[in-house]
Structure 1
């Protein structure tokens, strides 16, 4: 894809995320929404559906030839999807449980997948008015009041001994996460909400790793993977194999890890088992 076209698509994704995010924040602030339970027992709200509608309308208007895949719609079967060279992958609200719990730790995720890999990633965090974004080979950036510019994972002074900060879920067992860490070094923990926010905090150097053990969809990692990778980190399955996009009938991810500084030998620190 030419650089000019990628920049155009990145701007479209940024505007769609901002428009949806600001509307979602107004709904969150008013408290006027309905909450439901999906078949998998995960929550969904009318705010999720509103954000989906806003993003889909914006992307369809400005990029009518690019298909859209979203958590909040019935998506095409693999027989059709496998023909797509590129498509939009969106999670209208990542962290719906945090939206309902009123922690503020939720975000809007938009990715452009090209040749089965994230090529553009945009994540908007309404509570912090922070826009994280990246494009392949273009670097990662954060735009927020008083803080705009490139972001990078934290570089360790000594990869073999430096204290590691682990981003953990507000509702995740700290003991379960720490049980996966085989290194003897000191670990700090940083409680946060949505998967994408943890990834963004790693991308900007506020945390070093995050391990997600539980059901997620490809829309939970698409935008984050582009941002983290361009910031110098990586997202992999917990067995350290790459994540895949649009290559299976199901759209769920395996358990995965977001990793910061790539100088660190993470396979010596994190133990994999089912």
Structure 2
């Protein structure tokens, strides 16, 4: 098997290629730019989702094969067929070809490509491409987080030694669409009262990396974010010095028998992370008593 840096080079190239395809649909320059929007479990799916999924899988499998790796993509995942075979693989690619499909359709610019390589239920390599920003973020376990444009690549490290904020000064990046009564209650009662609305988990996490926000909260309700929503964004955040955990402080697990990430998740630049997790649990306990 190739070493991790060789695999990363392949994944970065695939990420840029996927970003170009998405932009061609987004800006109407694709040969057939009709998105043909359909809905699966109340979530939109477009031709762009499917086309980019096929592109990523084809490129990765052509370069890396199927002997050493399994592949899970949002657009091809079928739980009954995969839950036994995929969860037993040592190395698994977890792919979201278009994170933020609603923003893509509504032309907000908030959409991303997520490509993560998971070993033993934890990400070891990640690529997050933000097409409209023309940036690609990538990380390897214990290797730091980098961001590159078409012209340059620079090590991106979160550093807040000189910009420590009080909890009430922190900015929470929140979803444009995935909201419910419990989440609203939590956001209203946390000490951080500045909010910034951004679609796509990948875009939310890169907003933290770019120091335009400080934390992001996910709270499952009837549904929950999936492995492909979280795996790649988690690694690019944590390798840059941030934190991404369950409210109880435990690490997220991927490629288990359940693709859902249930419960409360908190991603941050590291400031007040444990305190905010504890406060979130206390606020939710209050909500349950209402």
- Residue 53, structure 1, aligned to residue 54, structure 2: yes
Aligned to 1:138, what secondary structure does the other structure show? coil
Residue aligning to 1:74? 77
1:195-243: CA deviation from partner (whole Å, max 9, x where unpaired): 1110122133221111123421100011011101101112222343321
- Distance of aligned partners of 1:174 and 1:44 in 2 relative to their CA distance in 1, 3 Å threshold: closer
- Does the CA-based 8 Å contact 1:159-1:263 persist in structure 2? no
Residue aligning to 2:115? 110
**Residues 252-261 or 124-133, more deviating:** 252-261
- More helix per residue: 2
Distance in 1 (CA, whole Å) between partners of 2:39 and 2:72 is 21
Residue aligning to 2:259? 251
- Residue 229, structure 1, aligned to residue 238, structure 2: yes
Equivalenced residue count is 269
- Residue 208, structure 1, aligned to residue 214, structure 2: yes
TM-score, with length taken from structure 2:
0.84
Unaligned runs of 5+ in 2: none
1:169 to 158, 164, 175: 175
- Residue 28, structure 1, aligned to residue 50, structure 2: no
TM-score, with length taken from structure 1:
0.88
Aligned to 2:85, what secondary structure does the other structure show? helix
- Does the CA-based 8 Å contact 1:124-1:130 persist in structure 2? yes
Please provide the CA RMSD for this pair: 2.4
Distance in 2 (CA, whole Å) between partners of 1:228 and 1:252 is 20
Residue aligning to 1:270? 280
- Does the CA-based 8 Å contact 2:266-2:277 persist in structure 1? no
